[in-house]
Structure 1
Amino acid sequence: MSKQRTTQPITTGTSVIGLVYDGGVMIAADTLLSYGSMAKSFNTPRLYNIEDRILLGASGEYSDLQEIVAKVKALALQETTNSMESIYVDRKLPAKSLWNYLRAVMYQKRSKMNPYWNDVVVAGWDDQADKPFLGTVDKLGTTLQENLVATGFGGYLAMPLLREKWRSDLSEGEARALLEDAMKVLFYRDCRASARIQLAKCTSDGCIVSEPYELDHSNGWNAPSMIRAAGDLDGDGGW
């Protein structure tokens, strides 16, 4: 029997963006899945909370993301089971270790010419360094650890806004507002994006993923840059 390979993504999700703020890390993604150019599902989460310690999100092929999440949960369960075998060990899977694990998995899959068609964001709290962790792994196994990350069109449309507004001392509220502004930009400019989003955060107390909710974009299309009178070709209000 001949082997089959995924040669292109079919059912996909778009950008995942994230940032480190003062006291934690926060990521955001919308809940739209697209089947080619058709909107297939409007309420499919792409952010996952692994053992209340790690946040995982990804853009790209959704079926591959489901397989990645299954691998990650199995790995986390194995770590927990091993730690329970000894009363002297309290070992849980750190976010940075998962990030390195996914680097190896993605590189192995692409080396076999059967890659996972995803760009993955991993976030969590680094207990050893006592600071948040944020990193990405792409379909080739290339990794990046930074204070600001974005996958998909977010790298082109949202990243400039994040770089302009980000500060290392951002509060949690400011971080949420900045991510929501970036998600609005993606909704307006990326035809595969939706205004229905999720936010997730991770601090030293653990990780939380919000329920999906709608961004307030009621006045977005009334912005001056979106309005031009009929026949006003140069935008100055004249003819």
Structure 2
Amino acid sequence: MAPPLAQSSNPFAMDSDLNDPHSMGTTIIGVTYEGGVVLGADSRTSTGMYVANRASDKITQLTDNIYVCRSGSAADSQIVSDYVRYFLHQHTIQLGQPATVKVAANLLRLFSYQNKNMLQTGLIVGGWDKYEGGQIYSIPLGGTILRQPFTIGGSGSSYLYGFFDQAWKEGMSKDEAEKLVVKAVSLAIARDGASGGVVRTVVINGDGVRRNFYSGDSLPLWHEELEPRNSLLDILSAAAATSPDPMNI
């Protein structure tokens, strides 16, 4: 007769997700418009099935006029962005002028390709320079580089390809492009369990850079989405503020 299976004293033994690395099941988007680019991302960072950070910033500045959207492993994408920011700074000092978007994208591509067996990150580079205007480059896993008029990445992107084929158009205005990005991220949040939180956008053009923030309760609700409700902690905090006696809460 086979001996009974030993039972672990660890109550979390069946939950292997506790030991998973921090990763960004993500929705990141880059869109060109007439005169510049708009980058957008959600803000949920997860550790397995748990949300480690619900308000993380996945759009990282590389230079004054170039930003990168990060997806995949948060640690991998952060270290690659830090290295590239350093080299772009050196590049700018040596040349005496800002680096171009193409240079930044190719540096990111080089790091991703040379370390493709160790990195798990997909990137979208967006920026503006005086030579080619607004540009978007996609650098998926493995280190490929593609210049595109619009691109999407992360786990939420699989819900958006058909939407972008229908909604994106040539010659959009800045406001049209930003509204498209916010709408697309909110659609991905509605369907993708790994995307959530707030929506951040970065608008880059010849006049400079503008960052915008859209809170989760300001986003449109889609099919079968539930309206946001206060958490139990919010309810208890509000009750405690009006009643000095905790027994009456």
Q: TM class by shorter-chain length? A: 0.7 to 0.9
Following superposition, the deviation at residue 25 of structure 1 comes to 0.5
Kept in 2: contact 1:54–1:207 (CA 8 A): no
- Aligned to 2:61, what secondary structure does the other structure show? strand
- Aligned to 2:209, what secondary structure does the other structure show? strand
Distance 1:188 1:219, change over 3 A: closer
For residues 61 and 210 of structure 2, the distance between their equivalents in structure 1, rounded to whole angstroms, comes to: 7
> Aligned AA for 1:42?
R
Establish whether residue 59 from structure 1 lines up as the match of residue 65 from structure 2. Answer: no
Following superposition, the deviation at residue 183 of structure 1 comes to 1.0
Kept in 1: contact 2:44–2:194 (CA 8 A): yes
Establish whether residue 12 from structure 1 lines up as the match of residue 23 from structure 2. Answer: yes
Which residue in 2 is equivalent to 1:69?
A: 81
Range moving further from structure 2, 214-223 or 50-59: 214-223
For the pair shown, the structure with the greater C-alpha radius of gyration is 2
Range moving further from structure 2, 44-53 or 204-213: 204-213
Which residue in 1 is equivalent to 2:128?
A: 125
Residue pairs, 1:47-126, within 5 angstroms: 47-83=59-95, 90-110=96-116, 113-114=117-118, 116-126=119-129
The two structures have a TM-score, normalised by structure 2, of 0.76
Kept in 2: contact 1:107–1:140 (CA 8 A): yes
Among residues 48, 51, 55, which one is paired with 1:39 in the alignment? 51
Distance 1:201 1:217, change over 3 A: closer
Following superposition, the deviation at residue 211 of structure 1 comes to 4.0
For residues 139 and 76 of structure 1, the distance between their equivalents in structure 2, rounded to whole angstroms, comes to: 22
The two structures have a TM-score, normalised by structure 1, of 0.79
Alignment gaps of 5+ in structure 1 = 1-8, 84-89, 224-239
Identity rate, percent: 22
> Aligned AA for 2:104?
L
Kept in 2: contact 1:95–1:123 (CA 8 A): yes
Which residue in 2 is equivalent to 1:4?
A: none
Alignment gaps of 5+ in structure 2 = 1-19, 226-249
Following superposition, the deviation at residue 221 of structure 1 comes to 4.7
Kept in 2: contact 1:123–1:134 (CA 8 A): yes
- Aligned to 2:115, what secondary structure does the other structure show? helix
Following superposition, the deviation at residue 118 of structure 1 comes to 0.6
Kept in 2: contact 1:22–1:171 (CA 8 A): yes
For residues 52 and 156 of structure 2, the distance between their equivalents in structure 1, rounded to whole angstroms, comes to: 21
For residues 173 and 145 of structure 2, the distance between their equivalents in structure 1, rounded to whole angstroms, comes to: 27
Kept in 1: contact 2:54–2:197 (CA 8 A): no
For residues 72 and 17 of structure 1, the distance between their equivalents in structure 2, rounded to whole angstroms, comes to: 20
Distance 1:19 1:201, change over 3 A: same
Query: How large is the RMSD of aligned CA atoms in angstroms?
Result: 2.0
Following superposition, the deviation at residue 155 of structure 1 comes to 3.2
